[in-house]
Amino acid sequence: MKKNTKIKYFLFTFLIFIFLLGGEVLAIKPLEEEPPSDLPPGIEVEEIEELEEAKEVPEKITNLTVERIHSAKVKIGETVEVTLKIENLGKEKVKYFLTETLEPNLEYPDPIEVRKWHFQALEVPYYLWEKEILPKGTQEIKYHIDPKNLGMVLFSPAIVNDEFGNNFESAPTTLEIACNPNGKCDPGENYIFCPEDCPTGSADGVCDGAEDGKCDPDCAERVDPDCKILDEKGNLNLYVTIGIITVIIIAGALLIPRFLKKRK
């Protein structure tokens, strides 16, 4: 009996000890991290604010389309109207962002904000529109370009991103910029894209290398065969000229003394 009493007393005392120890543990303040002891004097340690977790975008399938519409061929100096057509084939209103990359060698005269995307040393200008489109709705966004150089322009796809993270792209398009014939080889025109104004052998920045009896100034040495022929002809003419002058000098040296003797 006494043995059971001692055991109960021991267990009771042990439980009280555990209870008191637990209270002391809960009363201890969490340890705060101390800054490193080897920091240079005058350096203050800033606390880093914890970032909030990114909110998940609700997943929803939408059905948008985007199409770029413009002329296939224009003359240099003409202003071109470009239309971006967006359609919502779904049954709900959708908020979207439309991105159009601006191509080099073109001027964009409209008063639209030009944004720039930077990646290392690369800088890409673009237009950005933020719109909402109704279900079964159609929208058109227009802007203009002024071509300044002849040739072919390849437009990158226009990109649509909606509020639910869905992406849509247009097909890439091309624009041929032809010359406006006026009888002069104007800056920006050349034999390839404007043979009407810039015939072979013109100083147009293009080496045509055609055998036309004209040495193209845009060709490297020995590329245009006409340059070699003209050089050979020039050398022949030079040799002939030197020979004629030499003959005249010799004849003069022989005839002049005889003429002077006869006069005496």
What pLDDT does 254 receive? Answer: 63
As its CATH architecture, domain 64-178 has Sandwich (2.60)
Question: What CA–CA distance (Å, rounded) separates 98 from 68?
Answer: 12
Contact 170, 185 (CB under 8 A): no
What pLDDT does 235 receive? Answer: 46
Residues of the chain scoring pLDDT < 50: 25-31, 230-236
Question: What CA–CA distance (Å, rounded) separates 138 from 88?
Answer: 6
Question: What CA–CA distance (Å, rounded) separates 75 from 120?
Answer: 36
* Domain limits, the chain: 64-178
Write the pLDDT tens digit of every residue in 143-195: 999 998 888 999 999 999 999 999 999 999 999 998 888 888 877 788 888 88
pTM of the complete model beyond 0.85: no
What pLDDT does 156 receive? Answer: 95
Contact 165, 180 (CB under 8 A): no
Give one word for 165, left, alpha or beta, with left for phi > 0 and alpha for psi -120 to 50: left
What pLDDT does 184 receive? Answer: 84
What pLDDT does 79 receive? Answer: 95
What pLDDT does 200 receive? Answer: 84
β-bridge mates for residue 160, sequence order: 98, 168
Report angle CA 112, 115, 118 to the nearest 5 degrees: 165
- Sheet holding 151-155: strands in order across? 73-75, 173-178, 151-155
What pLDDT does 91 receive? Answer: 92
Residue 172 three-state SS: coil
What pLDDT does 199 receive? Answer: 86
What pLDDT does 219 receive? Answer: 86
